Structure 1
Amino acid sequence: MRAHVQEIVFDCAGPPALVRFWAGLLGGSPVDRGDDWSYVDPPGFVRLAFQRVPEGKAVKNRVHLDLEVEDPDVAAEEALRSGAVRVGDPVTDEQGTFQVMRDPEENEFCFVTG
């Protein structure tokens, strides 16, 4: 049996707000299926869904998204205006550059090149 990814689901406190943040980064129209569940279908990518949970985020994510961009600094500045937080300085090596970020609910993601 082989499975395919239908969607990636983020646990969060505020699905309607968080889906709008991610739709702003990736494109697509946010959809609210109530206060407890929202999603976006970014062009060329799997659906991202956001479900309300009672507990807050306690530790670093075990999985995160790497978002390919032309310039991580420019992408980070735009994301900061939308409520993201930069984590540390950009890292550059022979493979490219990446900048660690956190969304408004502190889920880690990276802007990457290369």
Structure 2
Amino acid sequence: MKFINMLVRSKALKALLLSTAFAISMPVLAMNLQQAMSALPNAKIQGLVGEQPNGYLGVVQANNQDAEAIAKLINDARRAEYARLAKDNNIAVSDVEAMAGQKAVERTQRGHYILLDGNWLQKR
């Protein structure tokens, strides 16, 4: 009987530890693309992320999990769209990235960050 009680407690302890580890990691896993898109304007205003000439978002302030999650989700979506556009137009993905990057930098609002010559600068 003691063995069964120990086994039940051990399984319960393992389940508790696994659920705790999962709960701790949930905030990072919880964001989806729609939430990232909704959070993007505020992240740009706060100077957390900015546009790069390569067509992708960059993290301006390192070690910010929200900024990293936003950039990753949006960049993954952009990457897929660039690949689709390149295929549909029979051009290189790098050409689509360059065109998108140029447009993104040009359209960036004043006060938001852009990457120029390897440095993050607020657009004036």
What band does the TM-score fall into relative to the shorter chain?
under 0.3
Say which one has the larger Rg: 2
Q: Which structure shows the higher strand fraction?
A: 1
Q: TM-score of the superposition, structure 2-length normalised?
A: 0.21
Which structure has the highest helix share of the two?
2
TM-score by length of 1: 0.22
